[in-house]
Structure 1
Amino acid sequence: MAYDRYAAICNPLLYSSVMSPALCGRMVLGSYLAGLSGSMSQLCAMLQLHFCGPNIINHFFCDMPQLLVLSCTDTFFAQLFTAISTIIFGIINALVIMISYVYIVISIMKITTASGRSKAFNTCTSHLTAVTLFYTSSIFVYLSSTSGGSSSFDRFASLFYTVVIPMLNPLIYSLRNKEIKDALKRLQKKRGCC
């Protein structure tokens, strides 16, 4: 979506040729392959460990950092792998998205009309909000969980990025819809009158 916004705002006249169906297909395939390679590498790292102690996870999900606590073998390399994969799949992806938004903001600032700038910012704000919330909480969970235990804040952050953010996405994306904004204004006026 960040590249789509970048192409739509920075190169609006070339949008249909830049965002071709073939490119969209390659981007989807790349996303699936990156997710599959990340999951398979985590699985291979976990298969190298031995588990002989308790089998109770003090967490909501059976993620790799929580399984490392249960292992009775040395988990240094697995923890290092978790940190490196978090950097690769989390921080680098977030940085690429943020860099595209820097270019978008630079292009938006070149728009002469205030209404044009407002429309362009409204287009990007919902996606940037969802991405920021998701990446911040998920990176926090994976980098803080490599230290060992699972605090209640870790569990809350994990629940936040797996359940709350996907539930908020429709709301976040619908707030830029004019009809939804008008309905919220009418609701606010009704509550003010009563």
Structure 2
Amino acid sequence: MLVEAAARVLAEEGPAALTSRRLAAEVGSSTMAVFSRFQNMAEVRRAVREEGFARLDARLDTLPTMDDPVANLVATGVMYFAAGVANPHLYRAMFLDRPPQDDDLGAGTYQRLVALVRRCVIAGRFPAAQESLVSVWAAQLWSMRHGMVIMSVAELLPNEQARFVLDDMTLRLLIGYGDDPDQARRSIEHGNRAAAEGERP
């Protein structure tokens, strides 16, 4: 409850609004209850980010490793989008609240994406890739997905339109990385199906 309330305050009003008194009031408790769990507001903010990345990684963990590495790459993008849209306050707090310099909570999630891109390269789907481009392409894919989540949670684009744009941009990037257009389209369809299955209870 404290983490959810903190995420909501951070997302809607920013870090300056997050105090022990405000957090206690949000959950109908006392400041003593806040400090029995957290030493200070910096710990609260870190807990919000930890929870956000834990939920995101748990969602991505539901995806099986597919024979088609590009479909795997696509499916993670769909799941990433779904996680952000499902937890808008948490997502805003994770990415729009500046983390401390020593905060590397998103590193594991990013390295997962790097590994997926590298798997596509090894499989020959991105034939023109150099090793130095793998992390660059992972950053491009992440920024694309992040942008679509932000557009959606800010209500600048309806979810369905944002998902259409995500698929279209993904296709264009895959082709740009050297993938065959027809294979890329099939992988996007396969990845979307896999993600939808992973989202079912």
TM-score with structure 1 setting the length: 0.30
Report which of the two structures shows the higher radius of gyration computed on alpha carbons.
1
Higher helix share: 1
TM-score (normalizing by structure 2)? 0.29
